[in-house]
Amino acid sequence: MSNIAFIGLGNMGLPMAINLAKAGHSVTAFDTVAEAVAKAEAEGIKAAPDAASAVADAEFVVTMLPNGQIVLKVYEAIVPAAKAGAVLIDCSTIDVESARKAHAMCDAAGLLSLDAPVSGGTGGAAAGTLTFMTGGKREAFDKASAILDVMGGKLVYCGEGGAGQAAKICNNMLLGISMIGACEAFALAEKLGLDAQAAFDVISTSSGYCWSVNTYCPVPGVGPQSPADNGYKPGFAAELMAKDLGLSQQAADGTGQATPMGARALELYSRFLEEGGKGKDFSGMIEYLKTASRA
């Protein structure tokens, strides 16, 4: 069993830290919100007064934070405080550039590091079935696998530092685009008087099939249970989709790659958020599209 530091006990981090503690690891945690730390303590996790103290004895350090700026700020505190041989694993979804900076800080200090963003949402975090997309040295991946296995159902080694974040934002850009496509198809079907079940039966078994239709259909009462059947309660919040689309556009700007559909998807999700989408699942886009003007 290992000594693990966990920093960032939010919607994702808390259940992930709890799974590590339940598996018998000694987990010491820190969050800037006292309430989050208290919830962790109630689950047998030790509380640390700050991030640097949390990592002092840790063989593995897991961070699950809102964005790249915060991750780098926390790394400034924990990299000098980490003990020799520790592996730093950042599971937050952040921009590729910040992820590479975090790796460089660890390299300079002789520490191993991984960027390891996840998919699977809060349900996957609680169930320990997340998918981890990882970037960093093979040695870091091999050492961290046993820890990641406790929190996840699938680990993918994507390549050098930043490769995990690259995989995550490319996947989520495609997801954002495909969900908008699914919403448009079902909204148009309705306007054409086509029954939603008939539309689903055809699309889900024809060339339009995709995860956004077959697994996560944005129309209530059609296909497997999805947030559409629950008033578009997330699920995967529209805010998080907009965040990930923003990261993909940042990467597209940085590399000079044209991603016109990704750019449009970000625009549409931003508009959806301005017009009632806050706090809704990203598949709630269909409600926005049904009322949006064609201009």
Q: What's the rounded Cα separation, in Å, for the pair 218 and 227?
A: 8
Q: What's the rounded Cα separation, in Å, for the pair 238 and 276?
A: 10
Site membership for ligand NAD, residue 74 (CB under 6 A): yes
Q: Which member of 22, 101, 154, 168 is catalytic? A: 168
Q: Which stretch binds ligand NAD (CB under 6 A): 118-126, 138-146, 186-194, 253-261?
A: 118-126
Site membership for ligand NAD, residue 7 (CB under 6 A): yes
Among positions 93, 98, 113, 283, the unique one binding ligand NAD when judged by CB under 6 A:
93
Q: What angle do CA 66, 119, 164 make, to 5 degrees?
A: 75
Tokens 């309430």 sit at which residue? 35
Site membership for ligand NAD, residue 53 (CB under 6 A): no
| One-letter amino acid of 270 | S
Nearer to ligand NAD, 98 or 259 (CB): 98
Site membership for ligand NAD, residue 5 (CB under 6 A): no
Q: What angle do CA 19, 65, 225 make, to 5 degrees?
A: 60
Task: Give residues with Cβ within 8 angstroms of 129, minimum separation 6.
Answer: 120, 152, 153
Site membership for ligand NAD, residue 65 (CB under 6 A): yes
Return phi, psi of residue 112, to 5°: -85, 150
Return phi, psi of residue 47, to 5°: -95, 140
Q: What's the rounded Cα separation, in Å, for the pair 210 and 233?
A: 21
Site membership for ligand NAD, residue 95 (CB under 6 A): no
Q: Which stretch binds ligand NAD (CB under 6 A): 7-15, 18-26, 103-111, 217-225?
A: 7-15
Site membership for ligand NAD, residue 122 (CB under 6 A): yes
Among positions 141, 157, 216, 236, the unique one binding ligand NAD when judged by CB under 6 A:
236
Binding residues for ligand NAD (CB under 6 A): 7-13, 30-33, 36, 51, 64-66, 70, 73-74, 92-93, 118, 121-122, 236, 240, 243
Which positions are annotated as active-site residues?
A: 168
